[in-house]
Structure 1
Amino acid sequence: MKTLIFASNPILHLSEPPIRKPKTQTFQPSITTTILKDKFKSHANAKGFSASNGSIGSTNKKANEENNKKKNDDNDEIPQEVYNRMIVRILVSVGFPMGLGLAFLQIFGVLKEKQLWDVPLWLPFTTTLLTFGASALGIAYGSLSTSFDAERKESLLGIEEVQRNWVEMWKEEDESQT
């Protein structure tokens, strides 16, 4: 089959293609964009940052200074010793259940691989759910089970501290809402 090529066709020239400059477009917001932006503007305020209580959104500088003094009196710094104990408790209460869960998965895998026991599928699922769930709850438990008094000796499991800190946490929350 023979192909006929016409030399007069400009598409078939083998010269270099012309250099084209890309067109740049700039975005100019229209009136509708501005209206929509104002309409869907977030009106939510974080707790303690609303304009009504005279803190961040307020223009009254004296009220801001008074509120800051009150907040600084209420929110004392956590001593470094308490902070270190809290970190250790969080690491233990998160790490132990997670390590236990990973060990169970490894044991179930070895038992199935060596064909000693055909582990039902629900068993690794349940143990993973329980151990990793306990690991997630370990963050809250580790922080609540720490005594916030630097001189006070705390117990091994921290159950007394959890009971005391739980009541204090909710008491502060109730006082701030009233």
Structure 2
Amino acid sequence: MNTLLSSQKLPLQFPKPYQWSPGITVIHPITMQKLINLPSNTWKLHANAKGFGARTPATIKESAINNNNNNNRTEDGHLPQVVLERMIVRILVAVGVPLATGIALLHLFGMVKEQKLWDVPLWLPFLTTLLTFGMSALGIAYGSLSTSWDEEKKGSVLGLEEAKQNWVEMWKEENDDA
């Protein structure tokens, strides 16, 4: 007990001029002194994300050389703006339709169960959610593969022929680079 009493700090006591009154914020003088004496470097950001640090003249020159080398090789890796826009539309459709279907089915199952028309088993919403959201996730890959990568050729509605052709082309490039 003696140890606890001797190690105990004195309670915070405010001197008479700092007495509490409504509308006035009171900071203890010792706390204020600690705030004033804080080192200024604690308020600076110490983290630098990769790629967002300071650029030195050497790194600027190196990146310019790399860009020139990439531009001088070939333009094969560059997709035209028309193809990119087509690809975005296909991806949005391939992701949006299954996603909207899954959400609509969940809403439908909820209404049916709420109206007590049919006691929907728990596995049915789970299965439909798994299938529709899974198809939505695969829609990103299918949307980009089913787009015609040729500027002049628009492609078919479903893009099955383009998907077959682009799949082979994608793996051919992968094998050529290795």
- Scaled by the length of structure 1, the TM-score of the pair is 0.65
Instruction: Choose which of 69, 73, 76 in structure 2 pairs with 1:74.
Output: 76
Distance 1:118 1:65, change over 3 A: same
Question: Which amino acid in the other structure matches residue 176 of structure 2?
Answer: E
1:1-178 matched pairs, under 5 angstroms? 14-16=15-17, 19-20=29-30, 21-22=33-34, 23-25=37-39, 65-66=68-69, 68-70=71-73, 72-76=74-78, 78-177=79-178
Question: Which amino acid in the other structure matches residue 176 of structure 1?
Answer: D
User: Alpha-carbon deviation of 1:120?
Assistant: 0.9
Distance 1:14 1:121, change over 3 A: same
User: Alpha-carbon deviation of 1:65?
Assistant: 4.5
Structure 2 unaligned regions, length at least 5: 1-11, 19-27, 42-49, 51-58
Between the aligned partners of 1:12 and 1:79, the Cα distance in structure 2 is 73
Question: Which amino acid in the other structure matches residue 137 of structure 1?
Answer: L
- Scaled by the length of structure 2, the TM-score of the pair is 0.65
Between the aligned partners of 1:127 and 1:176, the Cα distance in structure 2 is 40
Provide Cα deviations, 1:55-79, integer angstroms capped at 9, x if missing partner: x8xx7x9788445411x43323x22
Provide Cα deviations, 1:21-63, integer angstroms capped at 9, x if missing partner: 1142577xxxxxxxxxxxxxx9xxxxxxxxxxxxx8xx7x978
Aligned length: 137
Superposition CA RMSD, Å: 3.0
User: Alpha-carbon deviation of 1:130?
Assistant: 0.7
Structure with a larger share of its residues in helix: 2
Provide Cα deviations, 1:100-151, integer angstroms capped at 9, x if missing partner: 1011101100110010111111110110111011001101100110001122
SS for the counterpart of 1:149 is coil
User: Alpha-carbon deviation of 1:14?
Assistant: 5.0
145-154 vs 97-106, greater mean Cα deviation: 145-154
Query: Identity of aligned pairs, percent?
Result: 53
